[in-house]
Amino acid sequence: MTTGKRRDSARSRALLLEAAASLFAERGYDRSTTREIGERAGVDPALIARYFGGKAQLYLAALDLDRASAPPADLLEPERTRMLLEAVARRGAGPLFRAAITPLEDPEVQAAAMGQLGWRLVDPLCQRFTREGLDRPQLRAELLVASFLGVILSRNSGAFRALAEADTEEVVQLVLGMLDQSH
């Protein structure tokens, strides 16, 4: 009986994590509720507190899913830039991009989001710039990421018609040219 119960709890935990990651990506941390996460997972939302300790810890667990994989390529790699542009076009700006523009209410969650943004975007560029012997690699990496976030968010906000209507491949090439010239 214990084995079945353990399997059910592992399954419920996995379903909650998957549902949370999906909702956080769609709506961001602040606009996702534990009730909605539980409904999407098909389990009692009270299990969030049981398995994770609360919504903030669930968010941190969802962020940690990516850390188990290999570090991502940097933004100067065409496929990485293309993938990010396409992902935002399909799903909208995720919670990390939103958190870079508008800080989250929970300081611990904001710090985790910025840590993840650093791991995904800033650190790979900083490592490249360090290998290339460029001065102030951290500052250069942060400036390029900030520029990229501005482009990606503006493309999807409708603020700039030509940018919003441009073919993804054309935007990739222009962004890569811009990023490459700025470092």
Question: pLDDT of 5-18, one tens digit each?
Answer: 555 889 999 999 99
Tokens of 33: 């509720």
Tracing tokens 């399997």 back to the chain, one arrives at: 7
Does position 70 have pLDDT exceeding 80, yes or no? no
State the average pLDDT over residues 60-88: 83
- CA–CA separation, 58 and 16 (whole Å): 8
pLDDT at 148: 92
pLDDT at 60: 82
Domains and CATH numbers, the chain: 2-66 (1.10.10.60), 70-182 (no CATH)
Q: Considering the entire predicted model, what is its pTM?
A: 0.74
Question: pLDDT of 84-138, one tens digit each?
Answer: 888 888 777 777 787 788 888 888 888 888 988 999 899 999 999 999 999 999 9
pLDDT at 139: 96
- CA–CA separation, 1 and 62 (whole Å): 29
Question: pLDDT of 144-156, one tens digit each?
Answer: 999 999 998 888 7
Which residues, in sequence order, are CB contacts of 138 under 8 Å at separation 6+?
Answer: 122, 126
Terminal CA-to-CA distance of the chain, rounded, Å? Answer: 60
What 3 state SS string does 43-62 have? CCCHHHHHHHCCHHHHHHHH
Residue 111, CA distances (Å) to 3, 24, 108, 165 in order: 37, 16, 5, 34
Question: pLDDT of 15-54, one tens digit each?
Answer: 999 999 888 877 778 889 999 999 999 999 999 999 999 9
